[in-house]
Amino acid sequence: MNLQHLKYAVEVEKTGSITQAAENLYMGQPNLSKAIKELEGTLGVVIFKRTSKGVLPTEQGKEFLRYAKSILDQVERMEDLYRSGGEGRLHFSAAVPRASYIAHAFAKFLAELDQSQQLDVNFKETNATEAIHSVAERESKLGVIRYQAIHEGYFQNLLEDKAICSHPLWEFTYQLLFSKNHPLAGAESITPDDLQKYVEILHGDVTVPSLSVMGKAHPQEDRHAKKKIRIYERGSQFDLLCQVPDTFMWVSPMPQAVLDRHGLRQRRCDVIDLRMRDVLIYPEGYQLSALDKSFVQKVEQVRDEIVQNQGKA
């Protein structure tokens, strides 16, 4: 057994297909099948089984693959450390929700990095399902997922099944976001009925398919606004809020600096089912690097600043 065998097994699990894994690895299918059989013979366990859904790991295979991914992570980290003449390389990857407080923390995190060193940074804003997949497949070493508090059990079971560790990051109530010139910006209080005639901007890909039948999968759907604009990235939302009259969004609490920069206002609305949780995730067996910990600290710092400012309001 060698590192190449570990890479073979991880790729087979990732694709769920010997044929596709062989293609991704630029090798023949018979050679890959032989290598997997040799690996199983060395270990004395069956790693994969063929099913109607493709090639899936057995229970023993899942345990082996967790160790294999952890070993490959450590090897990659060591290679990064000593690559390029031993000068070291800063490697960071994360999959997170489209949240301004996290983006704000990420910018602060990058600003404090040693710019003289080589950087390899991947930062992906996406929905909870994709973030979990990214972390499970080691495409991202860290992730942050967002879900309604009522779905805690579902997501914790999913993370356990994917061999992913989790730690609470923030529990908050969604806020209303709109331009400082919006008709509701100066209102003393806002109710759901007040939103009916305005246009809601929401991210169109945050639905969790497995929860759709429950009717509560999308925290922004079935709201009181009858007019909606769905977007699939975060960059345009501020322009829309400022330039399109009568638009609003439901968002996590935002840093005051971001609100001031874009001329936005954030207000509360008494809607009890908008209690949300942001949760930090990473693969079982993965040891957070100093860079990972620095990013998490920045996110927590920005979070604490927002909470403190809200307490003063």
- Domains detected in the chain: 3-79 (1.10.10.10), 81-170+277-312 (3.40.190.10), 172-274 (3.40.190.10)
**What is the pLDDT averaged over residues 264-277?**
80
269 and 192 Cβ atoms separated by less than 8 Å: yes
DSSP run (H or E) holding 91: strand 89-96
Query: pLDDT value at position 1?
Result: 72
Query: pLDDT value at position 87?
Result: 56
**Cα–Cα distance for residue pair 142/68, rounded to 1 Å:** 18
pLDDT of 220 higher than 60: no
Per-residue pLDDT tens digits for 67-113: 888 888 777 767 666 655 545 667 899 999 999 999 999 999 999 98
69 phi/psi in degrees, rounded to 5 = -65, -40
pLDDT of 217 higher than 80: no
Query: pLDDT value at position 118?
Result: 78
Query: pLDDT value at position 81?
Result: 61
The pTM assigned to this predicted structure is 0.74
269 and 224 Cβ atoms separated by less than 8 Å: no
**What is the pLDDT averaged over residues 111-116?**
84
Listed in sequence order, the DSSP H helices in the chain are 3-15, 18-24, 29-43, 59-82, 100-111, 128-136, 152-161, 237-243, 256-262, 290-312
DSSP run (H or E) holding 200: strand 199-203
Token duo for residue 75: 């090897």
